[in-house]
Chain A
Amino acid sequence: MKKIGVFVCWCGLNISSTVDVEKASEELKNYPGVFYADDYKYLCSDPGQELIKKTIVDNKLEGIVVAACSPNMHESTFRAAAEAAGLNPYRVEITNIREQASWVHSNKEDATAKAIQLIKSTVEKVKKSEDLFPQQIPLTKKVLVIGGGISGMTVALEVAEAGYPVILVEKEPQIGGNMAKLSETFPTLDCASCILTPKTAEVGRHSNITLMTNSEVIESTGYFGNFTVKVKRKPTFVDWKKCIGCMLCQEKCPKKTNSDFEHGMGKRKAISVAFPQAIPYRPIISEKECIYFKTGKCKICVKVCPVDCIEFEQEEKIIEENIGAIVVASGYDLLPKEELGEYGQGKYADVIDGMQFERIASASGPTEGVIKRPSDGKIPKSIVFIQCAGSRDNQKGRPYCSKICCMYTAKHAMLYKHQVHDGEATIFYMDIRAGGKGYEEFVQRAIEDDHVLYLRGRVARVYEEDGRLVVLGVDTLSGEQVRIEADLVVLATAVIPSIGAKALGQTLKVGTDTYGFFNEAHPKLKPVESMTKGVFLAGCAQAPRDIPETVSQATGAAAKVITMFSKNHLVSDPQVAKVNEKICVGCLLCKPICPYKAIEPEIVEVRVGCRAEKRQVATINKGLCQGCGACSVACRSGAMNLSGFSNEQILEELKSLCL
C-alpha cells in the first residue's frame, strides 16, 4: 500500500475555530494507508511548505493530502512544494475543509466529523493517483486576428509591437470597422475618425502586420499553438500592388449606387473606396453593379487608370496559414429596422437607426455633417430618439441591454441641438444607464445645458399622418399619453453580433450564445478566453460594449497572446482524457460530445489475450483536450478516463463516503 501523508491546516482560526484539526490529524493517523498525519497553523506559509517537503523526503511519502482551503487557492502552491521534494505533483490532492466544512457549519463536532470523512475520501483518491507528466507542445508564434475594427486593430498593434507576426483578416475592403463610421464619440465629443485614423494608418504600415482585407476565414483545423487556417481572399478586380490610389477610376465611373458604408444615407460608384481615409486606400469593383460585368461593355476605369491595374479576370484565392493563436474580434451589427413592426418596419424614410444618424452627423459623411433628413434633405425641426429599440425586449428575443445606446443617443441629441438651436430633441428611454467615467455628467449636460427632453416610457407606435411622422408613447412618470409630431425618428436599435458570427463560431469550433455572441471561458475570471484553448475574444464579438471597454479587452486579449508566445513550447496540463484501448469499442460516441473536437478515430493493433487485433479506437489530441470529462461520462464501458480524476479515483472517493 502506498505511504500517504496527511497535513491538516488550521488556516489560523479560519478552519480551527469550527473544525478540531488536532482530532482530525490524530484520527487520520490510524487510517489504513496513512503513514504520517499532522496539523499546522498555516501550511501555505514558508515554514509550512518546508514541513511538507521535509516530511515527504524523510518518510519517503508516495502521496499527500493537504486538508486546507479551496484547491483554487493553493493547489499549485502545495504541488510545487511536493515537486521540490521529489514527489510527482499530481500525487498531491487537496481536501477543502475550509469552504466545505469550517465556513459552512457552526457545530464544531459535526464539522469535524465531516472534515475527517472528506479527508479520508481524499486519501482513498490519492491511493489511486498516478504520476502525470505535462507534455510539451510546439508553438507557432503567429496570431490571426479576425476583424479589423477598433478591437482587432488594437490586438494586432499590441501583438505586432511585441515582435510577433500578425495576420489581420477583415471581410470589408478596408479596416476601421464600425468606429470609422461614427461622427463624434461620447463623452468627450472628439471626432471618431480623428482618433481612429492614426491607428488604421499604423496598422497599414506595420511591418509585423499582414493585412488581408476583403477576406474571410473559411476553415480552421489543429489546436492551440498549432492551428492551420484557410483564408478566402475575395477578388477586388484591381491589382492593389500596382494601384497608386489616384482614384481617377472612381471619379470617372458612370455607375452610382447605394453605399453600404453610408448605410443607405449616401451613394458611391461601382468602383470605389469607401471613404477618403480608408486603409488600404485602394478601390474595389463591385461585381454586382459594375456595367462591364453586366453588359461586357464600358471599361472606362481601364481607360483612365494611369498604371493599368484593373483586372476584371481576378479570381478569389484561398490562402493557408499556420498560426498559433486566434483572436476573434468580429464586432457587431445593428438589429434591422425591418424587424421592428411598431416603428414602421423600415418603410418610412425618416425613421433611421443610430448608425444612419452617425453618418448624417459625420463631417466626412454624405451631408458633410449637416443633419438633414433622408426623405427631402430638409433640416429637421423635431427629432424623436427611441432607446431600447429591440433591446431589453423579450418579445423580440433580445432581453439583453445593448449597453451603448443610452450614451450615443444622448450624444446624438446633443449634436443635433448644437447644430439646430431651436430644434426639439425628445428621447424616450426605459432607464438611463450611464455607468462609466464621465458618462453620467455627459447625460446631465444633455438634459441641463442642451435642454434635451427625456421622457420615460416606451413608444407604442410610429406612423405617418398627413406626411408627418407621429410618435405615440406613454410618459410613465406622469402617466400621460404622449403624441409627438416629428421630422425625424432615430431608433437606438439593438446591438447584435455581426452577421455570420455564428458560422464563424462553427468554423473555429468556438461556442456562441443564443444570440450569437461568442462565449467566454468564464464570465468573470476568463472573459477574453473562449472555450477553445488558443482562441481569444475581443470587443463586441463577445458582448455589446463601448470603445474604451473594447480597447481594454482587446489589450487583454493581446496580453494573453503575448504571454502564450513568450514561451518556446506550450505545456499541456496532463489532466486530460486517456483511452484504454483494450476496452474501447470504437463506437466514437465521444467524438461529437467533445466540445473541443479533441477526439478522432484511429486504427490500432491491440493485443488481446494471445492474439493481436487491429481495430478502431478513439484517440485524444492532448493539445486540444481541456480535461472537461464529457467523454469520460459518455463512455459506456469506462474506456475513457480523465487522468487525475479517473473513474477509479472518483469511485474510491465515493465508496469511502458511502461507508
Chain B
Amino acid sequence: MMNMTEKMLEQIRDLFEKKNIKLFIGFEKGFEKFSRIPAFAENYDEAKSMIIDEFETPLLAKYLIRELGEVGAGAVEKSERVGILTRGCDYLSIRRLVVDNIILRENLVIIGIPCNGLIDPKKANKLLGEEAQEITVDEKIVLAKGEIKSREINKEEILLDRCKKCIMSKVEESDILLEENMDDMEVSKDYSAVEEIEKLTTEERYEFWRRQFDRCIRCFACRDACTACNCRKCIFDITEPEMLEKTVATSEQFMFHFIRAFHVAGRCTACGECEKVCPVDIPLGLLNGKFKKDIELLFDVDEAGIPAEIEPLGEFKLDDPVEW
C-alpha cells in the first residue's frame, strides 16, 4: 500500500502533466530534524521533496493571497490554477479567503488529507528530557528516541495546542482526497481558559493583559500569519490616518491587540496560528476565544468561525443583542 506522501506525489505529477496547475504548495523538511516548512513547486521535479507526516506545520492558505490574490484579480478573474495540500484547519482558512472574495475557488485544486492532530516536537523533547533524534508516530503512541533515552509518549500529550481546539478535522470540498476523511473529531468546547480570565476582576484582568501586551514587540507576525487578516493594506500599515503610532506605549499595544482581535472577531477560524507564531508567546487564542465564546452565546450559533456568506457580526439587524 502506498503511503500518503507517495499518493500525493502521484497526484501532483498527474496535475502537472495534465497542465492543471501552475504551482503546488505543500511541505518539505526544514533545516532542523523535525521542522516541516512550506514548499512551492512549479513542476513535478521540484515537488519531489514534499512530504506528508504528523509533525507540526504552518498553515498554507495565507500564501494563496500572494500566489493568487495579489496579481490583482484574485476574486475576479480565472487564472492558472494553484494546487494546495489541505488539512481541516487550512480548509477553513481557504474558505475564509473565498468568502472574503480574496480568491476564487475555481482557481484552486485542493488535495485534502485527513488529520487527527499534529505533534509538537518541542513537547516531545521536553518530555524526553533531551533532544529527540528519532520520533516515530503510531496511531496513539509516539516513540521518541534521544541519544541517551527513549520513551513512549501518549500522542495526546504532545499534540499541538491548536490541534486540541480543532473545530474542523476534515476537508469538506477537496478536489482530490488522498484518504477518506475520518469521522469527525470530538469537538469539545473548552472555554475553561477564557472563563478563568473572565473570573478576574477588571483590575486583575487589565493587569494580566497589560503584562502580555507590554511584551509585544510589534513584529505583526500574528497578523501576517492570519488568513482572516487579508486586507490589501492593513490599517496598521497606513500612515494617513495613523491609527497606530510606532511608539510602543502600553496604550498603543492595547490599541493594536484589541483592534486586531476586533477585526477578526466572528471571522477567526480558530486555527491558532497567531498564537503559535508569536515570538513572545502572547496568548492571543484567549482573546480570540473570548470573542468566539461571546458570539456563540449572544448570537446563538453553534460554532463561530466556520466561514459563511452571512456571519453573526456581518449583518445589520435591529434586534442585535445589546450586550454585544
Q: Do chains A and B touch in the complex (CB under 8 A)?
A: yes
Q: Are B238 and A638 in contact (CB under 8 A)?
A: yes
Closest to B71 in A: A613
User: Which residues of the partner chain B approach A603 to less than 8 Å between Cβ atoms?
Assistant: 76
Given A513-B318, A615-B73, is A583 in contact with B101 using a C-beta cutoff of 8 Å?
no
Q: Are B76 and A615 in contact (CB under 8 A)?
A: yes
A630 at the interface (CB under 8 A from B): yes
Q: Are A593 and B231 in contact (CB under 8 A)?
A: no
B140 at the interface (CB under 8 A from A): no
B75 at the interface (CB under 8 A from A): yes
Interface centre among A589, A611, A636, A646 (most CB of B within 10 A): A636
User: Which residues of the partner chain A approach B102 to less than 8 Å between Cβ atoms?
Assistant: 585, 587
Closest to A128 in B: B241
B303 at the interface (CB under 8 A from A): no
The segment from A185-193, A276-284, A311-319, A647-655 found at the interface with B is A647-655
- Interface 0/1 of A561-602, CB less than 8 Å to B: 000000000000000000000111111110011110000010
Cα distance A409–B199 in the bound complex, in angstroms: 55
User: Which residues of the partner chain B approach A514 to less than 8 Å between Cβ atoms?
Assistant: 319
Q: How near does chain B come to A136, taking the closest CB pair, in angstroms?
A: 28
Closest to B238 in A: A638
How many residues of chain A are within 8 Å of chain B by beta carbon?
34
Q: Give the residues from 29 to 81 in chain B that come closer than 8 angstroms, CB to CB, to chain A.
A: 72-77
User: Which residues of the partner chain A approach B314 to less than 8 Å between Cβ atoms?
Assistant: 589, 592-593, 634
Q: Are A614 and B238 in contact (CB under 8 A)?
A: no
A17 at the interface (CB under 8 A from B): no
B316 at the interface (CB under 8 A from A): yes
- Interface 0/1 of B249-283, CB less than 8 Å to A: 00000000000000100000000000000000000
Which residue of A601, A634, A637 contacts B233 across the interface (Cβ within 8 Å)?
Answer: A637
Q: How near does chain B come to A659, taking the closest CB pair, in angstroms?
A: 12
A457 at the interface (CB under 8 A from B): no
Closest to B266 in A: A589
A214 at the interface (CB under 8 A from B): no
Cα distance A595–B320 in the bound complex, in angstroms: 13
User: Which residues of the partner chain B approach A583 to less than 8 Å between Cβ atoms?
Assistant: 231-233, 238
User: Which residues of the partner chain B approach A651 to less than 8 Å between Cβ atoms?
Assistant: 241-243
User: Which residues of the partner chain A approach B76 to less than 8 Å between Cβ atoms?
Assistant: 603, 614-616
Q: Are A585 and B100 in contact (CB under 8 A)?
A: yes
User: Which residues of the partner chain B approach A616 to less than 8 Å between Cβ atoms?
Assistant: 75-76, 101
Given A585-B100, A585-B102, A587-B230, is A615 in contact with B74 using a C-beta cutoff of 8 Å?
yes
Closest to A633 in B: B262
Q: Are A615 and B231 in contact (CB under 8 A)?
A: no
Q: Are B232 and A585 in contact (CB under 8 A)?
A: yes
Q: Are A615 and B75 in contact (CB under 8 A)?
A: yes
Cα distance A251–B101 in the bound complex, in angstroms: 64
Q: Are A613 and B318 in contact (CB under 8 A)?
A: no
A519 at the interface (CB under 8 A from B): yes
Which residue of B240, B263, B318 contacts A636 across the interface (Cβ within 8 Å)?
Answer: B263
Interface centre among A583, A584, A587, A634 (most CB of B within 10 A): A587
Q: Are B72 and A613 in contact (CB under 8 A)?
A: yes
User: Which residues of the partner chain A approach B230 to less than 8 Å between Cβ atoms?
Assistant: 585, 587
User: Which residues of the partner chain A approach B77 to less than 8 Å between Cβ atoms?
Assistant: 614
Which residue of B73, B101, B242 contacts A614 across the interface (Cβ within 8 Å)?
Answer: B73
Q: B interface, by DSSP: helix, strand, loop or mixed?
A: loop
- Interface 0/1 of A614-654, CB less than 8 Å to B: 11100000000000001000101110000000111001100
Cα distance A546–B101 in the bound complex, in angstroms: 51
Q: Are A592 and B232 in contact (CB under 8 A)?
A: no
B310 at the interface (CB under 8 A from A): yes
Given A614-B72, A616-B75, is A586 in contact with B101 using a C-beta cutoff of 8 Å?
yes
Q: How near does chain A come to B296, taking the closest CB pair, in angstroms?
A: 19
Given A592-B314, A630-B316, is A636 in contact with B73 using a C-beta cutoff of 8 Å?
no
Q: How near does chain B come to A390, taking the closest CB pair, in angstroms?
A: 21
A511 at the interface (CB under 8 A from B): yes
B203 at the interface (CB under 8 A from A): no
Cα distance A615–B101 in the bound complex, in angstroms: 10
User: Which residues of the partner chain A approach B310 to less than 8 Å between Cβ atoms?
Assistant: 592
Q: Are A636 and B101 in contact (CB under 8 A)?
A: no
B315 at the interface (CB under 8 A from A): yes
Q: Give the residues from 501 to 554 in chain A that come closer than 8 angstroms, CB to CB, to chain B.
A: 511, 513-514, 519
Q: Give the residues from 83 to 126 in chain B that come closer than 8 angstroms, CB to CB, to chain A.
A: 100-102
B137 at the interface (CB under 8 A from A): no
Closest to B310 in A: A592
Which residue of A584, A585, A589, A638 contacts B243 across the interface (Cβ within 8 Å)?
Answer: A638
Q: How near does chain B come to A599, taking the closest CB pair, in angstroms?
A: 11
Q: Give the residues from 306 to 324 in chain B that come closer than 8 angstroms, CB to CB, to chain A.
A: 310, 314-316, 318-319
Cα distance A646–B241 in the bound complex, in angstroms: 10
B193 at the interface (CB under 8 A from A): no
B194 at the interface (CB under 8 A from A): no
Q: Are A637 and B235 in contact (CB under 8 A)?
A: yes
Interface centre among A519, A614, A615 (most CB of B within 10 A): A615
B234 at the interface (CB under 8 A from A): yes
Cα distance A83–B22 in the bound complex, in angstroms: 60
Q: How near does chain B come to A83, taking the closest CB pair, in angstroms?
A: 27
Cα distance A647–B244 in the bound complex, in angstroms: 13
Closest to B241 in A: A648
Cα distance A636–B243 in the bound complex, in angstroms: 12
Q: How near does chain A come to B98, taking the closest CB pair, in angstroms?
A: 11
Closest to A587 in B: B100
Cα distance A616–B242 in the bound complex, in angstroms: 26
Cα distance A653–B234 in the bound complex, in angstroms: 22
User: Which residues of the partner chain B approach A589 to less than 8 Å between Cβ atoms?
Assistant: 100, 314
User: Which residues of the partner chain A approach B101 to less than 8 Å between Cβ atoms?
Assistant: 585-588, 601, 616
User: Which residues of the partner chain B approach A646 to less than 8 Å between Cβ atoms?
Assistant: 241
Q: Are A519 and B318 in contact (CB under 8 A)?
A: yes
Closest to A531 in B: B318
Interface centre among A514, A611, A613 (most CB of B within 10 A): A613
Q: How near does chain B come to A297, taking the closest CB pair, in angstroms?
A: 52
User: Which residues of the partner chain B approach A652 to less than 8 Å between Cβ atoms?
Assistant: 241
Q: How near does chain A come to B251, taking the closest CB pair, in angstroms?
A: 8
Cα distance A608–B232 in the bound complex, in angstroms: 11
Q: Are B263 and A592 in contact (CB under 8 A)?
A: no
Q: Are B235 and A638 in contact (CB under 8 A)?
A: yes
User: Which residues of the partner chain B approach A615 to less than 8 Å between Cβ atoms?
Assistant: 72-76
Closest to A652 in B: B241
Q: Are B240 and A648 in contact (CB under 8 A)?
A: yes
Cα distance A592–B74 in the bound complex, in angstroms: 21
Q: Are B243 and A637 in contact (CB under 8 A)?
A: no
Interface centre among B75, B234, B319 (most CB of A within 10 A): B75
Interface centre among A513, A616, A651 (most CB of B within 10 A): A616
Interface centre among B75, B102, B241, B314 (most CB of A within 10 A): B241
Q: How near does chain B come to A618, taking the closest CB pair, in angstroms?
A: 10
Cα distance A608–B235 in the bound complex, in angstroms: 17
Interface centre among B77, B101, B102, B234 (most CB of A within 10 A): B101
**Other A-B pairs, 15, CB within 8 Å; known A519-B318, A587-B101:** A582-B232, A584-B232, A586-B101, A587-B102, A613-B73, A614-B72, A614-B73, A615-B75, A616-B101, A636-B235, A636-B263, A637-B233, A646-B241, A648-B240, A652-B241
**Which 4 pairs show the lowest CB-CB distances between chains A and B?**
A613-B72, A637-B231, A648-B241, A587-B100
Q: List 28 A-B contacts (CB under 8 A).
A: A582-B232, A582-B233, A583-B232, A585-B101, A585-B102, A585-B232, A586-B75, A586-B101, A587-B101, A587-B102, A587-B230, A588-B101, A589-B314, A592-B316, A593-B314, A593-B316, A595-B316, A601-B101, A603-B76, A608-B72, A614-B76, A615-B73, A615-B76, A616-B75, A630-B316, A636-B235, A638-B241, A648-B240
